[in-house]
Structure 1
Amino acid sequence: MATDLNDQTDAAQGDRSASADARAGTADVISGEQALQRISELERELAEYKDSYLRAMADYKNFKRRTDQERSDLLKSAGAAVLLKVLPIIDDLERAIGNTTPEISGTAWFSGFKLIPQKLNALLESEGVTPIAALGAPFDPTRHEAVIYEDAPGQAELVIAELQRGFMIRDRVLRPSLVKVGKA
């Protein structure tokens, strides 16, 4: 009799658990309208993620382009700083060559010495450094630095003397020319 009672209890519990499973299964099943709403939510969420991804990719591309440009500018400016330090040395060498006596200028070693500024100028040219044409040109404050203004009829606003040669590196001024400008 005890066995029969246990069997009945087990059977009742089994029926209850089967009906609970059936109810849980129907709870997991959603209506067509709910499914469409859930699909719409997921599509909207997907669009947001896609938009975020595209923005992040665009930000990355802009960052990469900007850092590449900054690196290029840094290399150019670092090279320009060294070249700017070489210019006074060339100026001194050219002044020394221009102020030699005839006895010295006729010697063999002086002929070799004159090649030094020529080689340095060739080096500058290979790096994109070119002299600024100043003498006789209209005064340009972006390329020339007026040190002296002198009365010069017919040569107003023209460079009448170059006191120190200026240089450009590619499209920008490395060192402006120091000039004497005529005034009316």
Structure 2
Amino acid sequence: MTVNAGAIPPGHWTQDPAIGGGRIVGEGCHFIDLLRHLVGAPIVRHAALALGRHPALAVTTDKVTLTLEFADGSIGTLHYLANGDKGFPKERLEVFCAGRVLQLDNFRRLRGWGWKGFSRMNLWRQDKGQAACAMAFVEAVKQGLPAPIPLDEVLEVSRVSIEAQRAVDDR
């Protein structure tokens, strides 16, 4: 998954680990969560690398590649980058499986290769699923059902996000 996050000034609260936690904890966590959900298996190992230290770069911890290994053998890579061009898609997800490929751009355009009877789908507007997620939570509370996202998954993604942010902060 590639996130062309855009630059935020070094003094912005999201860049401050003590206030905003850093961009991996504050925003990157959502993409870690998405990969965890799509795979449907626990994250068993992860590694994070930030763009190398350079005097011209005030912040490098918002230019990160995070590799996730899942219990079922799947891998996921999150490229969270604040140094891209605005003309490039903000969020791109690519899934390679069983000789087939899906590519989702900005949660609006889905293209497929190797999927019999499917090659593309376009939405009129972007849908990242926030409304459906909130509705599922409210309905679960109203009906006394389990949370739509199990607590152990929430804690797992939070732990991985915090550990990844610390790994790039400590470089």
- TM-score of Structure 1 vs Structure 2, range by shorter chain: under 0.3
- Whose RCO is larger (CA < 8 A, sep 6+)? 2
Q: TM-score, structure 1 length as denominator?
A: 0.22
Larger relative strand fraction: 2
Larger radius of gyration: 1
Larger relative helix fraction: 1
